[in-house]
Every structure is written in structure tokens, then in C-alpha cells.
Amino acid sequence: MFGPIKRDPTSVYEQVLKQLTAAIMHGDLKPGDKLPSERSLAEMMGVSRTSLREALKMLAAAGMVNIKHGQGVFISEKGSPFNVLIKFAGKVNIDDDTVRDLFELRKLLETQNAVWACQRAENSVIDNLSEIVEQTLNSLNDTKDDLVILARQDSEFHTKLAEATGNKVIVRVMHDLLDLLNDVRCQTLSIPDRPLKSLNEHKEIVEALKSRSVDLVKEKMLVHLNNVEAELLKNR
């Protein structure tokens, strides 16, 4: 799968980059797959470890791979070759103004997502969303694990909603936008009260979707996002 690198026109790390992205795009490397170790992969390609590492760092910056110290390098979930919202998770300080800008974008995208989902989604998709919410409500049992469950539910809810629009580009943008905001949230102290409120607001959004009322869906989503933003900005 990894032939030797031709040492012709462009630089070595660019060639490595090209070969790796090609492997990902062609499907030889699927999301979740683990790459060979840096040492062996470098040897396979006939390049130095340094050059390989620089290419890997670029892929990591683009969100296409996930580098874990002591474990290995993994292909990112949904690692799309284009329209990746690049971020340096936890490596950039994001000020309040930027958070507001991000939320303004998010409100624009997600209210429209909700509308499109309302107009386009099959009943089964909405039922699936409903199940996610109900399932989370039932699995809560006052343990400290609840926060983890609620965080995952939140991410899953908004992702599923984006998928319900049928627009794959938007799914990708939303995914990365949520990731970025999640990192921001993790930089602050955890908020034990907010997640449960969110879950209830999610429930209201689902109910609005079931009623197929565009205006109601839009309103519920906007209220939800405003609350999340306010809570996040308060604890910084």
C-alpha cells in the first residue's frame, strides 16, 4: 500500500502528503484505521522519519488524522479531503469576541438546519432523533457518568440534525464547529446544571419537528442556542 516515494519535482513531505491523502481518499485507509508506526512507515516509503512526521503534522492540522502519543496515528472519523474546518484543538486561546462570532455562525447554520430537517426529513429520521433524546432521559441515574452521557448526547443530537438536512458539506462544517466549541467549553470549568437543561430543550425541538411547524422549530432552536451561548460566556 505504501510504495517508495519518487524524489523528483516537489519536496519529500509533499509527496508523502499526497500519497497519504490519496490513500485516504481512495479508501485504502478508512476512518479509525491505525497507520503503521512512524519508524516502519518512513522505512516503507523510503523517507526519513522527520519528513514523514512533518507530513503527518499537516494532516493532523487538517483534521484528517489523529495523533496519539504512545498509541499511534489514526485516520479521523469522517476525515474528508476537503472543506475541513481547521482548528488547533486546545492549542489556541479563543477570546470572547470570537466565541460570539462562532455562535452567530452556529445560530445561522443550525436554525436553518432545523428548518431543512423539518421540511425534508423522513418521519423515521425524526423518530430516530426522538429516540436519542428519550434514551438519554431513561439512562440517567444521578451518577457522575451522567455528564459524559449528556455531552455525547448533545453532540449526537446536533450532528444527526445536520445529517437530516441531506447536505454533506454542512454536516462536515457543523461537525467541526461543534468540536471547536466543545474544546472551548472544556477550557472552562464544567457546568453541572446546563446539560440537563439542554436535553429538555432538545426534546422541545424534536416535538416541534414532529409537528412540522417551521416557525416553531426555528424558535425553539434559537432559544436553545442562545441559552447555551449565554451559559458558556458566563463561565469564563
Partner DNA sequence: GGAGATGAATTGTTTGGACCAATTAAAAGA
Partner DNA sequence: TCTTTTAATTGGTCCAAACAATTCATCTCC
Contacts with DNA by CB under 7 A lie at: 7, 11-14, 35, 37-40, 46-51, 53-54, 56, 67-73
Please, which residue, 51 or 80, has the CB nearer to DNA?
51
Please, which residue, 37 or 139, has the CB nearer to DNA?
37
Report what 223 binds from its own copies, DNA, none; CB cut-off 5-8 Å by kind.
none
**DSSP letter (8 states) at residue 37:** P
Report what 51 binds from DNA, its own copies, none; CB cut-off 5-8 Å by kind.
DNA
Rounded-to-integer distance, Cα 67 and Cα 58, Å? 11
Closest to 153 in 3D by CA, of 77, 206, 207, 99: 206
Neighbour-count burial for 103-117, b at 16+ CB within 10 Å, e otherwise: beebbebbbebbbbb
Please, which residue, 29 or 84, has the CB nearer to its own copies?
84
Closest to 117 in 3D by CA, of 175, 176, 162, 171: 162
Report what 39 binds from DNA, its own copies, none; CB cut-off 5-8 Å by kind.
DNA
Report what 212 binds from its own copies, DNA, none; CB cut-off 5-8 Å by kind.
none
Q: Can residue 222 be called a binding residue for its own copies (CB under 8 A)? A: no
Q: Can residue 186 be called a binding residue for its own copies (CB under 8 A)? A: no
- Interior angle at CA 168, CA 74 and CA 93, nearest 5: 60
Report what 17 binds from its own copies, DNA, none; CB cut-off 5-8 Å by kind.
its own copies
Does residue 233 contact residue 99 with C-beta atoms inside 8 Å? yes
Report what 35 binds from DNA, its own copies, none; CB cut-off 5-8 Å by kind.
DNA
> Which neighbouring-strand residues pair with 66?
74
Tell me phi and psi for residue 92, to 5 degrees. Answer: -125, 135
Give the other-Cβ count within 10 Å of 49's Cβ: 13
Distances (CA, A) of 6 to 22, 26, 69: 15, 20, 29
For the bound state, the minimum distance from the C-beta of residue 208 to its own copies, rounded and expressed in Å, comes to: 20
Q: Can residue 108 be called a binding residue for its own copies (CB under 8 A)? A: yes
- Give residues 15-54 in contact with its own copies (rule: CB under 8 A): 17-18, 21-22, 25, 50, 53-54
Residues of the shown chain interacting with its own copies in the complex, contacts defined by CB under 8 A: 10-11, 13-14, 17-18, 21-22, 25, 50, 53-55, 57-64, 69, 81-94, 98, 101-102, 104-105, 108-109, 112, 167-170, 173, 180
